[in-house]
Every structure is written in C-alpha cells, then in structure tokens.
Structure 1
Amino acid sequence: MPKTQQRLLNYATSIAKCPTETSNYGSCVSVQAERIKQGDCSAEFRKLIDCVTKNLKKK
C-alpha cells in the first residue's frame, strides 16, 4: 500500500477509536451549524485531536 494511503488509513483507524470525542465534536458543530464561528467547539476539537494523536502514537 502506498505511504499516503497508509497514512490516511491510520488517521481513519485512530478517529474510529475515539467515538465519544468524535460524537461530542460533531454534536457541537451541528448545534451551531448556521452560526458557527472560529473558536466555537474548540474544547471538543482539542479533545478529539488529543485522542487521535494518542492513538497514532501507539502504532
């Protein structure tokens, strides 16, 4: 598998291991969909990124 495809697969796998964080971020964004602005949902996004990063480092 090419390196770029493997990297994308790794991200997808890592995101799948963070269902709570993904759901919380998605809920935050959808609640504010029409009026969302930069910085909204940043706490939820940070938790999602932290979880994904942690799972990527386990590989």
Structure 2
Amino acid sequence: MPGSKIRPVDRLAQAVAKCGTESTAYGKCIAKDFNNVYKDKCLAEFQVLQSCVLKHMGKK
C-alpha cells in the first residue's frame, strides 16, 4: 500500500534479518554456557549485533 507505515516491530524484524552473521556469533557465544548467562557475558558480540541492527533500521 502506498503511504502505509511500517510498524516498529516489523522494522526491527527486517533489520535483524539482515544481520544473520552477527546474530549467529552472538547466539553461539550465549549457547557456549547457557546455564551461566550473566549481564555483559557476550558484550562485544552484542554490540556488533546492535550496531548492525541500528544501521539497517536507519539509525546512527
């Protein structure tokens, strides 16, 4: 539909779908020891994923 707005959750889903490599790296880091997840455990991987998602959402 011309002029229709994309819902924010749909924009997020589209952006995450474009960051497969980064999502995989973050998921593998979490899965290494999923019984011992704590804040900032995979911070570097998360920041790379976050940057990718924001880039594809048109932010930053």
Query: Could you state the TM-score of these two structures normalised by the residue count of structure 2?
Result: 0.83
For structure 1, which runs of at least 5 residues remain unmatched after alignment? none
Q: Greater Rg, structure 1 or structure 2? A: 2
Q: Which has the higher helix share?
A: 1
Q: Report the alpha carbon displacement of residue 9 of structure 1 after superposing the two structures with TM.
A: 0.4
Amino acid at match of 2:14: T
Amino acid at match of 1:18: C
Q: Report the alpha carbon displacement of residue 38 of structure 1 after superposing the two structures with TM.
A: 1.1
Query: Could you state the TM-score of these two structures normalised by the residue count of structure 1?
Result: 0.85
Q: Report the alpha carbon displacement of residue 53 of structure 1 after superposing the two structures with TM.
A: 0.2
Amino acid at match of 1:7: P
Q: How many residues matched?
A: 55
For structure 2, which runs of at least 5 residues remain unmatched after alignment? none
**RMSD (CA atoms):** 1.6
Greater mean alpha carbon deviation, residues 9-18 or residues 49-58: 49-58
Q: In 2, distance between residues paired with 1:42 and 1:53? A: 16
Q: Which residue of 1 aligns with 2:10?
A: 9
